[in-house]
Amino acid sequence: MRRALRLCAAVAGALALAAGCGSGATADRAADGGGAGGAETVRIFAAASLQQPFEELGERFEAEHEGVELEFNFAGSSTLVEQIQQGAPADVFASADEATMDALVDAGLQEAPPVELTTNTLMIAVPAGNPAGVTDLASLEAEGLHLVVCARAVPCGAATAEVEEAAGLELAPVSEEQSVTDVLNKVTTGEADAGLVYTTDVRSAGEAVEGIAFPEAQDAVNVYPITTVAGAGHTDLGAQFVDLVTGEQGQQVLAAHGFGGR
């Protein structure tokens, strides 16, 4: 059965990463490949915003590969790269932007050249009913508004900085989160009056939030790349998963969840 994990997702720094995810040796990534009942475990590290389509595609993949189990680790892209650099076992890595994938490539940890997977754009998320009366990006500067965004080190935060600059605004968030799902959670629970998340996150939240589009989002379209990881225990199976999600079936599922085309 497919397992979805948040492997070391709350890691705050290199020391905690080392303690929770092991050393940086490539051999450590390949050593632990066994799943429950002798199944081969293929570990997929993916941006948090990809959780719903990847889990759906994971079910298809397992149905077509007897004796194979996919183990997902969904978190902020920068956190995932740090985990891989510290030796966490991963067969596939999918990032929410190209800059974070470049960090993996610069460390020589890619098995194959990254390929474009999909695209995504930002949207303002507000709690159902929009109690703070948010109307557009400029209204996020309103005094007393509790705004939550992603930290600039993660892709959704980098995109936020781009749209902020494009609009000539100086936003003052009350907190900066390490993943887009953390931002969305603060909006859905009412801890925040508004948050900047991906269009797909607003869609996945259903009636819990309302989405407000803004034109500046087109100045920061995120391209999601994907690749297999060097030294992984299941390179061939990892490559087959990459083929699935970048192929026709995968693109249809991603589009159904609101992602853009390649």
Residue 169's region, left for phi above 0, alpha for psi from -120 to 50, else beta, is beta
78 vs 86: CA distance, rounded Å: 12
CA dist 130 and 120 (Å) reads 23
- Pull the structure tokens for residue 75: 């978190």
Query: According to the annotation, is 198 in a ligand binding site?
Result: yes
Nearest in space to 30 (alpha carbons), one of 246, 242, 228 = 228
Residue 192 to residue 183: CA distance in whole angstroms: 9
- CB of 99 within 8 A of CB of 71? no
SS3 176: strand
Other CB atoms within 10 A of residue 144 CB: 6
Residue 154 is assigned to a ligand binding site: no
CB < 8 Å & 24+ apart, contacts of 243-247: 244/57, 244/60, 244/61, 245/53, 245/54, 245/57, 245/94, 245/117, 246/115, 246/116, 246/117
204 annotated among ligand-binding-site residues: no
Round to whole Å and give the CA distance between 41 and 152: 33
Answer yes or no: is 224 a known binding residue: no
Tracing tokens 């709690």 back to the chain, one arrives at 127
Binding residues for molybdate: 49, 77, 180, 198
Residue numbers in the known binding site are: 49, 77, 180, 198
